[in-house]
Amino acid sequence: MNINDVQPISTKQLRETMPSIKERLLAGESFYWIDRSKPIGMIKPLEPKRKAPMNANEYRQHIRKIAGGINSKKPLSPKELNRLLDKRYEEMLSGQ
Amino acid sequence: MVYLKDNNSPQQKSAFKLISSFLPEDYELFLSSLTIDEYLHSSLFILKHHKIPVPERFKKVFEALKTILDLQHLKIVNPSDSKENNLKIVDIMQNFNLNPRDAYHFLTMQENDIHEFATFDNDFKEVFTKKYLKHSE
């Protein structure tokens, strides 16, 4: 969520304009709740309802579609991949 | 994820078969920020090895990551911020012979009630042997 998309709202505004706040919330807006000049919380909409899950065929087609995109000259084996990540980890530990 | 994306990897077929078997109606998939970090690191390493210019590298990994995160039945989970739970890491490392990072993968799964782990990493051998997690491969 981009901080600029979140509107500040005071306790007084909340109390006095609840119906319009509710409408704006349902339309997807989020708010910082400011009480006595201090932010004390956030009011944000729940996640939108999920779409119906793909069936098995649609899902396989989707995975086929998203597979690929990288063509390595020398593919990494699982062992080499683990070694690469372990090496990086060791580098991080030694501060390299 | 790395193998699914790499057309020349001999593991692409098995990665495809494995991920395709996790049907949305039967499974929920989980990634953590740590696993995304590992995926990005490995992908960038491969692209760098191919001398792909830097802006294109980032464009490619962004697009690849987006297609994965767009999966409807995929959620991102992370370890909790509880001090008590984070202290468990040392015990996990000791009991399962894991490095701290792998111990965090395990803790993340325990805290989020995840029982099955898809990995090619052999470091989790003891976790699978002791049947704390089911190995999907």
pLDDT tens by residue, B47-98? 888 888 999 999 989 988 998 898 888 999 999 889 999 999 999 999 999 9
Specify if A21 maps to a domain.
yes
User: A81 and B42 in contact by Cβ < 8 A?
Assistant: yes
Digit-by-digit pLDDT tens for chain A (96 residues) are 555 568 899 999 999 999 999 988 888 888 999 999 898 999 988 865 556 778 889 999 999 988 988 888 778 788 887 787 777 767 766 655
Angle (CA) B120 B121 B126, round 5°: 120
Q: Are A81 and B123 a contacting pair at CB < 8 A?
A: no
Is residue A18 one of the residues assigned to a domain?
yes
Judge whether A91 lies within some domain. Answer: no
Domain total in chain A: 1
- CATH assignment at residue A26: 3.40.1620
Token pair listed for B64: 């690849």
Please state the domain extents for chain B: 1-78, 79-137
Q: Which two tokens stand for residue B109?
A: 């799964």
Contact B6 A64 (CB under 8 A): no
A81 domain-assigned: no
- Choose from B7, B62, B68, B74 for mutation: most chain A CBs within 10 A: B7
Model ipTM? 0.77
Sign of CA dihedral A58, A59, A64, A66: positive
Q: Is residue A56 part of a domain?
A: no
Per-chain mean pLDDT for chain B: 90
- Spell B74-87 as b/e; 16+ CB within 10 A means b: eeebebeeeeeeee
Confirm whether A64 is domain-assigned.
Answer: no
Domain that holds residue A11: 3-43
Q: How far is B96 from chain A (nearest CA, A)?
A: 17
